Amino acid sequence: MKLRTVAVLSLVLLALPLLAEQAAEVAPKIPVAAARAGFTPQQARELRARYSYTEAISAGDVSLFHFLNLGIWLPTAPVVREGDVVPLATALDPRVGQTRISAGGTTLADYLASTGSRAQGMVVVHRGRIVYEEYPGMRPNDHHVWMSTAKTTASLVVRLLAEAGKIDVARPIEVYLPALGGTDWAGTSVLDVLDMASGMDIIETQANRQQPRSAITRYNLAASGEPNADGQKEEMFEVVRSAKRLRPAGQAFEYSSMNTTLLVLLAEAVENKRWHEIFQERVWAKMTAEGDMPVAYAPDGTALPHGLVASRLRDLARYGLLYTPSWGKAARERVVSAAFVREIQTGGRKEIFMKGEIGAAMQKVHFPNDPPTAHHWQWDGVWDDGDFYKGGVFGQGLYVSPARDLVAVWYSTAMFSDLTQYARQIALDTLPAR
């Protein structure tokens, strides 16, 4: 089948959390613990040579290597850190490792240590101090791919531009991207793009991915520079422009990385700068990050922060801290406004949350014990208590609890991970900050 030949950047579709449940599995032979010693030159050559679409979405050995080596995998541009590194304080709390998601169930510490979890690292920060940190399958200084957790970087940039008066999210997207005028995108508000409620026929369902001429398949092929089913190479934006309307905008939460790509192009159009430079200037350079953040670019020059960025795990935690009262432990100046945090917490349209696959997955798969009730601004789940979460396929995650001044982050190479539920339970076990 044509889809089996899709090359490297077809992993655009890895941004969708549901895919992990639907991909064909290739049984891993290398335990994730081996990554703590690094890969030998021979292993690196063999795993690079073994690359295929099927293996890359299998959470097997090829995935393990490539998720930790984005620069080998794809062309990247660096989001450069600036200023002094300020270490995060550490006050380890052994109770965190004893967290259980069911009475008598496996503790978090045992889950992370189990070979079946394929978990690579987890960091929990409370009131600006690391209270839990484990690296069962990577080294602390390794850069791991964020997958769709990175979508929040695109929405944050749009928010910062909106707060600067450069974008009005209530206006139609074609106001900022005139090339969308006269297409089915015309009239779609920036907010509906932010909320994955554009109503376009671009949904990342398994059925759509299996259609060689679907918009999402053409998008993935364009991202990799591969010809489409008709033998023609297309540019990503041209594929986006050609998408057709499925239903009116604002009616359903229907997940698609195409929406995030439009946010990236929107920011670039407003600022007349490349996306990695915008994010560096407005976010990363203001943080006390330990390392740079590589961002992948497609062959046609389109930035891919819908999922293909990488960082150290502690730096992902620092990014999460920007949304908490302890932001000063991670940045030299405030980046995420209190107004934006409130918007994420209270602005979601609950009536559209369950009208699509991803809302149901949040409630039935990722958080069955205590599901979120909304989503907003590219965040997958928002709870009534004000906590919010963004996940990435194969077990990447960012959980933020502003009221508890708590952040949990994790990396994995797993077809399924329970770390979403552990993060929520850690929050529930933590008293609100005063």
pLDDT of residue 80 exceeding 90: yes
Contacts 24+ apart (CB under 8 A), 230-235: 235/300, 235/302
- The residue extents of the domains of the chain are 2-75, 89-144+311-428
Spatial separation of the C-alpha atoms in residues 395 and 63, rounded to whole Å:
12
Among 72-76, 292-296, 391-395, 406-410, the minimum mean pLDDT is found in 72-76
CATH code given to domain 89-144+311-428: 3.40.710.10
Q: CA distances (Å), 293 to each of 23, 51, 66, 90, 408, in order?
A: 28, 23, 16, 23, 19
Q: Which residues contact 49 (CB under 8 A, 6 or more apart)?
A: none
What is the model's pLDDT at position 53?
63
- At residue 224 the predicted structure's pLDDT band, cuts being 50, 70 and 90, is confident
- At residue 5 the predicted structure's pLDDT band, cuts being 50, 70 and 90, is very low
pLDDT of residue 24 exceeding 50: no
Closest to 241 in 3D by CA, of 224, 255, 258, 220: 258
In tens, the pLDDT along 159-169 reads 999 999 999 99
pLDDT of residue 8 exceeding 50: no
pLDDT of residue 198 exceeding 80: yes
The stretch 259-270 carries a mean pLDDT of 98
pLDDT of residue 42 exceeding 80: yes
What's the one-letter identity of residue 408? Answer: A
Spatial separation of the C-alpha atoms in residues 13 and 207, rounded to whole Å:
13
Output 76 or 207, whichever has higher pLDDT.
Answer: 76
What is the model's pLDDT at position 196?
98
Helix axes 338-346, 151-163, angle to 10 degrees: 120
What is the model's pLDDT at position 12?
41
The stretch 31-41 carries a mean pLDDT of 95
In tens, the pLDDT along 43-57 reads 999 999 998 767 877
pTM score of the predicted model = 0.94
Output 284 or 229, whichever has higher pLDDT.
Answer: 284
In tens, the pLDDT along 358-415 reads 999 999 999 999 999 999 999 999 999 999 999 999 999 999 999 999 999 999 999 8
Pairing status of strand 76-79 against strand 293-296: antiparallel
3-state secondary structure the chain: CHHHHCCHHHHHHHHCCCHHHHCCCCCCCCCHHHHHHCCCHHHHHHHHHCCCHHHHCCCCHHHHHHHCCHHHHCCEEEECCCCCCCCCEECCCHHHHCCECCCCCCEHHHHHHCCCCCEEEEEEEECCEEEEEECCCCCCCCCEECHHHHHHHHHHHHHHHHHCCCCCCCCEHHHCCHHHCCCCCCCCEHHHHHCCCCCECCCCCHHHHCCCCCHHHHHHHHHHCCECCCCCECCHHHHHHCCCECCCCCCCCCCCHHHHHHHHHHHHHHHCCCHHHHHHHHCHHHECCCCCEEEEECCCCCECCCCCEEECHHHHHHHHHCCCCCHHHCECCCCCCHHHHHHHHHCCCHHHHCCCHHHHHHHHHHCCCCCCCEEECCEEEECCCCCEEEEECCCEEEEEECCCCEEEEEEECCCCCCHHHHHHHHHHCCCCCC
The stretch 243-272 carries a mean pLDDT of 97
Closest to 396 in 3D by CA, of 195, 220, 138, 203: 138
Burial class (CB in 10 A: 0-12, 13-18, 19+), 49: exposed
> What integer best gives the mean pLDDT of the chain?
92
Percent of the chain with pLDDT over 70: 93
pLDDT of residue 433 exceeding 90: no
What is the model's pLDDT at position 14?
40
